[in-house]
Amino acid sequence: MRALTWQGREHVSVEDVPDPRVEEPTDAVIRVTSTAICGSDLHLYGVLGMFLDRGDVLGHEAMGVVEEVGSATGDLKVGDRVVVPFNIACGRCWMCRRGLQTQCETTQVRSQDKGAALFGYTKLYGQVPGGQAQYLRVPQAHYGPVVVPDDGSPDERYLYLSDVVPTAWQAVEYADVPEGGSVVVLGLGPIGQLSARIARHRGAGLVVGVDLVPERRAMAERHGVRTIDPTAVDDLHSAVRDLTGGRGPDSVIDAVGMEAHGSPIAETTQKVVGMLPDAVAAPLTERAATDRLAALYTAFALVRRGGTVSLSGVYGGAKDPLPMMQMFDKQLTIRMGQANVRRWTDDVLPLVQDASDPLGVLDLRTHRVPLEKAPEAYRTFQRKEDGCIKVVLDPWAATT
């Protein structure tokens, strides 16, 4: 089959790789009909290469049709149209039963002292081949795959159940926005877009999105989000306070993560470490790395006293300095973590099925290209060129 593989820092290519097969009774194999590039894939593309091997198949947002099932996959059957959550969980262990599927005790990567295995996401999370491919082996298929209607609707109606929608839903849940309250979303990439829309859907009175990119702000504004270009105001903090009675927002969602703009020293350090041999870079990253923290510091500064900061952007630093005096003095609540996808499925599936599209999932994808053009799509997405906000790859499309 054809699959998108990591080959080096900012170097990916589509190659022939072996077809996946059922290896365990709880496995299934799906024919991938759509797969997406996530913002966190860009962390692998540019920063975390020391935890990848040449030829690793990337991607953790995929859906398709079941081609083969093992003997213990429950009600899942060949021909089902399914979305595959990015985290691999059993649904039966102590953690899964408590809605913490990202900490699944069956798939925890204990050798790395990490949580549940993830598709296409480095040795730290199991080195499981990802979904930017024509076929995907799905472990724990008795629980993970979400069966969706085969009703002729475009994949983009359901594809984002793999990551974007439940991640944004959890970000808003963790933000604890009061009814009629205020929330600022930092970063209007795919997760920020859906976080802002979900906050409005769930009753926030004021939703403000902050982003440098005009196309991202324009998309958010189509869905009733008030936006701010931080370069167009004298002081972002004052601009936000002016919108929130001088107090600051009840909640802030950081949808940016480890590669925030405005952190030049940390950016240079990340690039230098990324060029070191893996044997040196990996332990250095695990023990001493720092993130680009401009967005996180902004979140702490913006949120009102007694407010909540929700982190959905991925962070990977081991030695990040935090403004503990400010956090303690402001009496902040902070929640974070990978999305527990299956915990939120029952909440979000009816919303994406709704013909009125209340979350606007059909207004997220800006680019749909053949899998063979994925390397170019990675570059475009990373550089925020051509109005690129969300890329969906078609594994079976011709390139002409």
pLDDT, residue 46, reads 82
Distance of alpha carbon 360 from alpha carbon 356, whole angstroms: 9
Distance of alpha carbon 223 from alpha carbon 160, whole angstroms: 17
Distance of alpha carbon 66 from alpha carbon 33, whole angstroms: 11
Pairing of strands 61-69, 81-84: antiparallel
Distance of alpha carbon 241 from alpha carbon 253, whole angstroms: 16
3-class DSSP assignment, residue 127: coil
pLDDT, residue 313, reads 82
Say which residues have a Cβ less than 8 Å from residue 136's Cβ, sequence separation at least 6.
20, 29, 30, 32, 62, 64, 84, 119, 129, 130
Q: How far lies 220's CA from each of 3, 213, 249, 361, in Å?
A: 32, 11, 18, 12
Determine contact, residues 204/223, Cβ cutoff 8 Å: no
Determine contact, residues 141/106, Cβ cutoff 8 Å: no
10 Å CB burial of residue 372 (0-12, 13-18, 19+) is middle
Average pLDDT of each block of 10 consecutive residues along the chain (400 residues)? 96 98 98 96 84 95 98 98 98 98 98 97 96 98 97 96 98 98 97 98 98 97 97 96 97 84 47 49 48 88 98 81 95 97 97 97 97 97 95 90
Distance of alpha carbon 204 from alpha carbon 182, whole angstroms: 6
10 Å CB burial of residue 186 (0-12, 13-18, 19+) is buried
pLDDT, residue 259, reads 65
Q: Which two tokens stand for residue 366?
A: 């800006």
